[in-house]
């Protein structure tokens, strides 16, 4: 059999701090407001930390240096990238052709609304007595106003059945067009004249907690009783490391240390291996190369290789991976 020189390039992630192969977390112990911290993280790293699993929570708990927090007189509360997007109101009716320019922006809020009391008021009801709107917790049960669309015309329908906002939305979509979208003062007055005394769901709602980097994760790790928006301005989130890294809503203007994340540095290692070529086998065939990588990964894993390590072939200038080894060169190796 011919002896052939095999070259494998190993991309090692063993130096990564995070078990998430794509992220490395950085504690910054200098206190900044949430917006200042976000700007710093985006300039120096990638963004404020996205914490999307208990694995990351445990990693951050282990990485924290409490002595450095104490130096700044901080009681272990550190900004992460979660925030409440208080300006994200939109209509349940998603057909943009229903709205003329700026009609999606029509609002008829009562004085002091929306106030997002207790950090849970993400849906909207209309009051029959004056036609003004309040934000409200979406789980509250009340009657609703549905919308029937026939071409450019909109007809409102009162639903005399107590439902939470999500149930009302589903009912209106199944039996009419959607929950009521209110495009102007005229339509708002139409609803006031239609409904009996009381309060009624309409289709305005907002997205709630979001990550600074735009990623989505349903994972939450709130401390007991949080979020509560106790001061009516707590739209940002800090991890409380005196409480196992659990989250608390907080005033975005308060200065705190913070956590950034960035990509994990990738080290590169070249491994050279000699193999004997089986008769009739094209060692540069893609199927054969793929099968060899699988076997190589199994062997390296058995020796304790981290799963974050990636194996790839390094091709020579002529595009081939395998080359027949010269007798003289082999004697020198």
CB 43 within 8 A of CB 315: no
Domain ranges of the chain: 3-15+265-332, 24-85+222-262, 89-206
- Minimal CA–CA distance to 233: which of 129, 140, 116? 116
Dump pLDDT digits (tens) for 262-292: 987 655 666 666 666 666 667 677 777 777 7
- Taking only the tens place, the pLDDT of each residue in 197-251 is 999 999 999 988 999 999 999 899 999 999 998 888 899 999 999 899 999 999 9
What is the three-class DSSP state of 172?
A: helix
Q: How far is the first Cα of the chain from the last one, in angstroms, to the nearest whole number?
A: 19
Cα R_g (the chain), whole angstroms: 30
The arrangement of secondary structure in 24-85+222-262, i.e. its CATH architecture, is Roll (3.10)
> Residues 274, 5: contact at Cβ < 8 Å?
yes
Listed in sequence order, the residues at least 6 apart from 116 whose beta carbon sits closer than 8 Å to its beta carbon are: 84, 86, 122, 135, 229, 232
Judged against a pLDDT cut of 60, whether residue 21 lies above it is answered with no
Question: Which residue from 291, 312, 254, 259 is spatially nearest to 60, judged by alpha carbons?
Answer: 259
Pick the closest to residue 126 from 207, 208, 209, 185 (CA basis).
185
Look up residue 139 and give its DSSP letter.
T
Comparing 94-98, 170-174, 314-318, the range with the smallest average pLDDT is 314-318
Q: The tokens of 233 are what? A: 């301005």
For residue range 112-139, what is the model confidence (pLDDT) as tens digits? 999 888 778 999 999 999 999 999 999 9
């Amino acid at each position: 059999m011919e002896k052939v020189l095999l070259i494998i390039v190993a991309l090692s992630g063993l130096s990564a701090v995070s078990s998430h192969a794509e992220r490395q977390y950085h504690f910054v112990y200098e206190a900044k407001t949430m917006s200042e911290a976000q700007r710093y993280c985006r300039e120096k790293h990638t963004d404020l930390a996205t914490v999307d699993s208990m694995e990351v929570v445990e990693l951050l708990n282990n990485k924290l240096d409490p002595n450095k927090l104490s130096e700044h007189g901080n009681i272990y509360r550190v900004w992460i990238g979660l925030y409440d997007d208080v300006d994200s109101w939109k209509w349940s009716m998603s057909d943009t052709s229903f709205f003329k320019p700026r009609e999606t922006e029509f609002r008829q809020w009562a004085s002091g609304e929306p106030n997002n009391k207790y950090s849970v008021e993400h849906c909207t009801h209309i009051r029959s007595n004056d036609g003004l709107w309040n934000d409200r917790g979406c789980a509250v049960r009340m009657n609703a106003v549905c919308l029937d669309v026939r071409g450019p015309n909109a007809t409102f329908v009162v639903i005399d059945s107590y439902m939470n906002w999500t149930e009302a939305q589903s009912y209106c979509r199944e039996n009419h067009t959607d929950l009521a979208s209110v495009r102007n003062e005229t339509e708002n007055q139409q609803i006031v004249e239609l409904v009996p005394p009381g309060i009624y769901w309409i289709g305005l709602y907002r997205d709630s907690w979001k990550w600074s980097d735009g990623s989505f994760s349903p994972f939450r790790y709130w401390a007991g009783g949080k979020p509560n928006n106790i001061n009516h301005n707590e739209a940002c989130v800090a991890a409380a490391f005196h409480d196992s890294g659990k989250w608390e809503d907080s005033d975005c203007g308060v200065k705190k240390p913070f956590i950034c994340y960035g990509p994990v540095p990738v080290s590169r290692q070249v491994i050279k291996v000699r193999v004997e070529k089986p008769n009739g086998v094209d060692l540069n065939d893609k199927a054969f190369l793929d099968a060899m990588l699988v076997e190589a990964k199994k062997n390296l894993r058995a020796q304790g290789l981290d799963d974050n390590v990636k194996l790839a072939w390094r091709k020579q200038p002529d595009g081939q991976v395998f080359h027949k080894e010269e007798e003289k060169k082999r004697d020198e190796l």
